[in-house]
Amino acid sequence: MARLPGYITHVALGFAKPDLVYKGDLDLSGTGLLFPFSGAVLKQAIVLLRQRNPATKVLVSVGGWNHFGWDNRNMAALALLVKDIGADGVDLDYETPDAGCIHTPRGTIACADDARSIAVLRDLRSVLPRPYAVTVAGWSVGAYGDGPYFAAEPRNGPFVGMMLALLRSPEAAGIDLVSVMAYDAGPTFRPDQAFRAYRALWKGPLALGFQVLPPENGGPRTSLEGIARLLAGLGDDPKAGAMLYAIGLTPPGPPGPDNPGYASFALAICASLNLADCAAPMP
């Protein structure tokens, strides 16, 4: 982490549990973070990264798949962890096994998780006010289901529209950036359309997400050419960017333009967004 290139603006450290146990002293054992080094080493890595790239923000990602303890969330412990390691805020990856989203007779979407997701964001901002950053990872189809994206594919399932209520709530004013997890949504899913659906809801910084590993449910593998094509389509959006999941992951099979590793992914994103210092090496 300390040697990441400067064109990376945010680094999210995943994944902390919503119901984490953290009492201080840089003890990560109850947090969900599974790094093969201590909290003291993590803190020092953040210090070294900032010395090289002062503008890079380091975030603790909370949630993710299989971390579903939102009802027992411990935002005070999360805030203490952020402050102890010297991070800049939190990336909220609100995921549940079933968001309970349904199409209502009025042609809108309602989700069983709506009230809880909003409460999670409210509680997080209450313990980490600005200037701490709060970013949100949005489910692939989370902005589908009504308006011009009522019939966007895939249109069925318990996660379609799960971000609508959150991004329309007053609490959304506490968000600094949204990244779209535009992957693992099946062969009919179009990442560019998902980005536009989120843009219709969210006017702030918005990142189109790519994943290094192949999709788990039949969607196409993203090539270097595909990265360039997708990001070129966002060129007229001054607040558009990209998110990569995740540094350090290696896809199966021989590496190449149609099966890029994380370093090739990062370079292609940097070049496609016309960022500076793309030649800086990725560790």
Burial of 105 per CB tally in 10 Å (0-12, 13-18, 19+): exposed
The predicted pLDDT at position 175 comes to 98
The predicted pLDDT at position 180 comes to 98
DSSP 143-177: T-SSGGGTTPSS--STTTTTTHHHHHSGGGGG--E
Beta-carbon contacts of 32 under 8 Å, excluding residues fewer than 6 positions away, are 15, 16, 17, 20, 67
Nearest-angstrom CA–CA distance, 247 and 256: 17
The predicted pLDDT at position 235 comes to 80
Say if residues 183 and 143 touch (Cβ distance below 8 Å).
no
Q: Are strands 57-63 and 10-16 parallel, antiparallel or unpaired?
A: parallel
Q: What is the largest CA-CA distance in the chain?
A: 55
The two tokens of residue 221 are 């593998």
C-beta neighbour count of 74 within 10 angstroms: 22
Nearest-angstrom CA–CA distance, 91 and 157: 25
SS in 3 state form for 87-142? CCEEEEECCCCCCCEEECCCCCEEECCHHHHHHHHHHHHHHCCCCCEEEEEECCCC
Low-confidence ranges of the chain (pLDDT < 50): none
Say if residues 85 and 46 touch (Cβ distance below 8 Å).
yes
Among residues 97, 31, 36, which one has the least CA distance to residue 60? 31
Say if residues 18 and 62 touch (Cβ distance below 8 Å).
yes
In angstroms, what CA-CA distances link 247 with 1, 79, 204?
A: 9, 24, 25
SS in 3 state form for 64-75? CCCCCCHHHCCH
Nearest-angstrom CA–CA distance, 182 and 244: 10
The predicted pLDDT at position 219 comes to 67
Beta-carbon contacts of 66 under 8 Å, excluding residues fewer than 6 positions away, are none
High-pLDDT (> 70) share of the chain, % = 99
pLDDT tens digits, one per residue of 93-117: 999 999 999 988 887 899 999 999 9
Say if residues 130 and 91 touch (Cβ distance below 8 Å).
no
Q: Are strands 89-93 and 101-103 parallel, antiparallel or unpaired?
A: unpaired
pTM: 0.96
The predicted pLDDT at position 218 comes to 67
Tokens 């449910």 label which residue?
A: 217
